[in-house]
Amino acid sequence: MKKICVIGNGIHATKNIIPSLKEIGISISAIASEYLKDEDTFDGIKSYSDYKDMLESEKPEIAVLCKTAEKQYEIAKYCLNFGIEKLFVEKPMGMNVSEAKELEELAEKNKCKVMIGFMKRYSPCYKKMKEIINMPEFGNIKQFNAEFYITSGRAGWTDEIFLKKGGIHFVNILLWLFGEVDEVKTYSNSIDNNVSLTSLIKFKNGIVGNINFVGLTSWKGKREKITITGENGYVYNDSVREIRYHLDQNITTNNRWQTIDEEEHIIKPYLTSASGGLQDLYLHGYIEEMKEFINQDSYYSENIATMKLIDMILNGGK
């Protein structure tokens, strides 16, 4: 097994990424963070206070980078130049289109296989949604309605920072579901770190829809929903825990209103008292994401396209 090291020990790394690696049987050789001490242990893993020292000493073939968004560009660039064979970078890889392009070109130059942490596409919920909208019975997709609501209060979370740190997963999932974007029109009612954005989006394949981004104290926790309407059906989700869908049965019986033959299917996870905290890692897609990172050699994250769409959303009202 090739040697794997982790850079970062924040909440996301310790609650999601490291437990997912452990769940799929991966042994982590070392972890680096400025908040750790050299040669100490963190969760049973040898630690370093400097990621450069760790890379030099451990010489891993695989690295997992999970730091704050602003720090990841320089660290990813160092890893790519160091000679890492596989690099996982938590979103975003670069804070703008220019940085994203530079890092992807550097990865190609150094023959490093890079995966970006857009985990929603690995969620059973979103995978099932994509399966349903691709069914011939669903018909051509006509439109969508999407919502992403989280609380605000984070200092400096302007519209741009909100989209690049919080809403970026939802931006990326739209590209994964619908393809390339043609036009965007955005309306903003944001003030300081109170975010209220609505964007109307037209994709190149003709699909149209709107997405609401909200970061306000009135929303605690997180809410995300997408409703997708096709010519012959619809599907919508409630976060990552329930999907409802309907396919037209083409029933022509008179007076159907007197019957109960209209079908809407409900799909949700199997819950037991022993489901445990790992269930969230499966339902949100983290574990399948780590499986693909370790086992595959080709990844399609649309990182540059995601940053471009964020720019289109931010500039869509101008």
* pLDDT at residue 120 tops 80: yes
Mean pLDDT of 288-314: 94
- Residues 6 or more apart whose CB falls under 8 angstroms from that of 271 comprise 279
Q: From CA 288, how far away is CA 293, in angstroms rounded? A: 9
Percent above pLDDT 90 for the chain: 76
Can you read off the two tokens belonging to residue 298?
Answer: 């080709």
Q: From CA 115, how far away is CA 87, in angstroms rounded? A: 6
CB-CB neighbours of 69 under 10 Å: 16
Mean pLDDT of 273-285: 86
Question: What is the reported pTM?
Answer: 0.92
Nearest to 297 by CA among 173, 111, 22: 111
Predicted confidence (pLDDT) per residue in 233-248, tens digit: 999 998 888 999 999 9
Q: Which residues of 209-246 are buried (b: 16+ CB within 10 A; e: fewer)?
A: bebebbbeeeeeeeebebebbbebbbbbbeebbebebb
Phi and psi at residue 304, in whole multiples of 5°?
Answer: -65, -45
Predicted confidence (pLDDT) per residue in 137-186, tens digit: 999 999 999 999 988 767 778 899 999 998 999 999 999 999 999 999 99
Strand order from edge to edge, sheet including 265-267: 181-188, 195-203, 208-215, 141-150, 222-230, 233-238, 242-247, 265-267
Can you read off the two tokens belonging to residue 173?
Answer: 């999932």
- Residues 6 or more apart whose CB falls under 8 angstroms from that of 46 comprise 29, 30, 31, 39, 40
Dihedral sign, CA of 115, 118, 124, 128? negative
Instruction: Label residue 128 by pLDDT band (50, 70, 90).
Output: very high
Q: From CA 119, how far away is CA 284, in angstroms rounded? A: 7
- Residues 6 or more apart whose CB falls under 8 angstroms from that of 256 comprise 262
| pLDDT on residue 93 | 92
Instruction: Label residue 317 by pLDDT band (50, 70, 90).
Output: low
Domains of the chain: 4-116 (3.40.50.720), 121-315 (3.30.360.10)
